[in-house]
Structure 1
Amino acid sequence: MADFPACPQCGLENVYADGALWICPDCGHEWSSVAEAAEGGVVVRDSNGNVLSAGDSVVVIKDLKVKGSSIPLKQGTVIRNIRLVEDDPEHIEGNSDKIKGLVLKTIFLRKA
């Protein structure tokens, strides 16, 4: 029988695998062991606590001023195909339709 990990939120061992996610039916927590293993333990999370991985799409949850540009990043703007910043779980890189080369804090983003 496979060795299942304990839930990182509640610590109970009553978990099951659903594709690439581990799910705890006791507390409802979902996490990705693939993302944690690929990152070497560094997990990037959005403002809601969802795990982000390279290639995901995120949505801006607050109007943001962009340094070096007169165009603000409006709430609801979708950033597609994000890249994770190595060894920094608080920042991601990506492009919007109008502004290229953005580095954004994860506290202003939610997974799309």
Structure 2
Amino acid sequence: MSKTVCPMCEMNEVLEHSDHLECLTCGHEWPREADLEADVPDAERVVKDAYGNVLADGDIVAMIKDLKLKGSSEVLKVGTKSKPIRLVDGDHEISCKMDGISIGLKACFVKKVMA
């Protein structure tokens, strides 16, 4: 048995075979390659703006097109600059303030402002 955990039931009672692993608790079997991938730490996520520039926390971005804000009659105009951004997980990569409004943006609608 090993310190590997089962991807189905997350128990650590796992038998190691030559080509696969088997959980004694639930009987799930999976190939050894999947076990090796689980030990590798996730690569750091890279967020790029509309022009391919890498964004980081604290960068300032500007809108590249007009965007209507959902649930409001306001529009963020082209060239509107943000306060320093924060990268987040989820359906929107960027959390920031523009024109005094806290919003979440997709990176494809902004460009990095070079200082």
TM-score by length of 2: 0.57
**Unaligned 5+ residue runs, structure 2?**
1-41
**Unaligned 5+ residue runs, structure 1?**
1-38
Checking the alignment, whether the CA contact within 8 Å between 1:91 and 1:106 is kept in structure 2 is yes
SS of structure 2 residue aligned to 1:101 = strand
Q: CA deviation at 1:95?
A: 0.5
Identity of aligned residues (%): 47
Query: Equivalent residue for 2:75?
Result: 72
The C-alpha deviation readout for 1:26-84, integer Å capped at 9, x for no partner, is xxxxxxxxxxxxx9421011011111001110000000010122110000000121010
Query: Equivalent residue for 1:106?
Result: 107
SS of structure 1 residue aligned to 2:52 = coil
Q: Which of 74, 97, 100 pairs up with 2:99?
A: 97
Paired residues in the alignment total 72
TM-score by length of 1: 0.58
SS of structure 2 residue aligned to 1:94 = strand
Aligned residue identity for 2:65: K
Checking the alignment, whether the CA contact within 8 Å between 1:42 and 1:87 is kept in structure 2 is no
- Deviating 4+ runs (over 6 angstroms): none
Q: CA deviation at 1:102?
A: 0.5
Higher CA-based Rg: 2
Query: Equivalent residue for 1:50?
Result: 53
Q: CA deviation at 1:87?
A: 6.4
